[in-house]
Amino acid sequence: MKFIFYTHSLVSDWNHGNAHFLRGIMRQLNKAGHVALALEPEDSWSRENLLREGGEKAIQSFHDSFPDLTSQTYGKDHDHEATLSDADVVVVHEWSEPSLVERIGRIRRDGGRFTLLFHDTHHRAVSSEHDIASLRLQDYDGVLAFGETLRQRYLDAGWGTNVFTWHEAADTTVFHPLPVDDIEGDLIWIGNWGDNERSAEIIEYLIDPVHELDLKASVYGVRYPAEALDALKAAGISYRGWIANAQAPSAFSRYKMTVHIPRRPYVKHLPGIPTIRVFEALACGIPLISAPWKDDEGLFRPGQDYLTVSNGGEMKEALRSVLSDPMLAAQLVKSGAETIRDRHTCAHRVSELFDILRRCGTARVKTALTMEDMAL
């Protein structure tokens, strides 16, 4: 089958975590013998920021890391009708322009034979409800929500009848333990500062404990204002700037532990949805300690796959424990990697996607899946 993904960007992961997951999904589809194509706007802010920060070398880095993935850019005059004429499954991401969301729905309504899915991996359903409510989704065959609470939000608001939970996961072709000769430091955090959605939490659960314990730590990420950079410097934390996601496993391998600091909208309004870094870090085999976050959907085994804390003081003690207890650190690594391997890889998510397509797909897609099942 031919899958087409409308995404903000596949090439750029500058402040764009969905690119991580989509790359893994497309790679798994290719591996299974399907055709996967990403379409991204030529003027996406993520791509423009990546070019501004890393130049064409950063774009080439994507192609070097993912030579098997294909992405095409489109402009305002692009012929989407022609592009979709031979598609079997079309997935439109929530960051797509509302006019494009409506146009693709209209193509489906006017005779498109493809199965059309809307994919939401953000918190605008609660933080900017009008933006989602104004989208025309009635011509979509289904909605993919990256958490059960988000799925319920769609159902309660009447934004779709076929709404499915489809969590993110680790691309284990990229994220897995790597051998390393030298440990560079005690703690690494890979995360963006963002729009003050977790500024206080970063200070409480990262900057202050690192400073008080005098740890050797590094932070990677973007959108750090001057005051944030000053706070990192005052705490003795090295700020390393943007890192290509494909390089994150190598960075994780050089440190003894990491932390999970969820954004406030998820903690307060969409509980049960972790950042994709939880999946990726555990897949890489690095001990992880999480700031307050409720795993309402039972994705992991808190206290076994990772440690949980409820305040900065507890974070400080947990960091100290992991550093001083090699057996604890080894157990966290073993357990976390086991849960990812057993439940949370992109291969698992592709299998779940096929199950969803069996339920809401067009006759054309259901027939193709039935033939696949018979061939197994």
Helices then strands, counting H and E runs in the chain, come out as 17, 13
Q: What is the pLDDT of residues 13-68, one digit of tens each?
A: 999 999 999 999 999 999 999 999 999 999 999 999 999 999 999 999 999 999 99
Q: Domain for residue 145, yes or no? A: yes
Q: Domain for residue 281, yes or no? A: yes
Pair 192, 305 in one domain: yes
Q: Give the tokens for residue 187.
A: 């703690």
Q: Domain for residue 174, yes or no? A: no
Question: What total of structural domains would you count in the chain?
Answer: 2
Q: What is the pLDDT of residues 320-361, one digit of tens each?
A: 999 999 999 999 999 999 999 999 999 999 999 999 999 999
Q: Domain for residue 30, yes or no? A: yes
CATH of the domain at 96: 3.40.50.11720
CATH of the domain at 299: 3.40.50.2000
Q: Domain for residue 367, yes or no? A: yes
Pair 163, 38 in one domain: yes
Q: Domain for residue 179, yes or no? A: no
Q: Is the pTM of this model over 0.85?
A: yes
pLDDT at 29: 98
Pair 314, 369 in one domain: no
Pair 120, 151 in one domain: yes
Pair 38, 160 in one domain: yes
Mean pLDDT across the stretch 114-143? 90
Q: What is the pLDDT of residues 242-287, one digit of tens each?
A: 999 999 999 999 999 999 999 888 888 788 999 999 999 999 999 9
Pair 104, 13 in one domain: yes
Res. 110: pLDDT tops 80: yes
Pair 349, 338 in one domain: no
Nearest residue to 60 (alpha-carbon basis) of 252, 249, 244 = 244
**Alpha helix (H) residue ranges in 325-362:** 326-343, 346-360
Pair 358, 282 in one domain: no
Pair 197, 269 in one domain: yes
- For the stretch 238-245, contacts whose Cβ atoms lie closer than 8 Å and that sit 24 or more positions apart, written own/partner, are 238/185, 241/53, 242/14, 242/50, 242/53, 242/54, 243/190, 244/13, 244/58, 244/61, 244/62, 244/65, 245/13, 245/19, 245/20, 245/23, 245/174
Pair 145, 11 in one domain: yes
For residue 20, count CB atoms less than 10 angstroms from its CB and return exposed for 0-12, middle for 13-18, buried for 19 or more: buried
Q: What is the DSSP string of 207-248?
A: IHHHHHHT--EEEE-S---HHHHHHHHHTTPEEEE---GGGH
Pair 119, 194 in one domain: no
Pair 24, 143 in one domain: yes
State the residue range of the domain holding 307.
Answer: 185-343
Q: Domain for residue 175, yes or no? A: no
pLDDT-derived band at 195 (thresholds 50, 70, 90) equals: confident
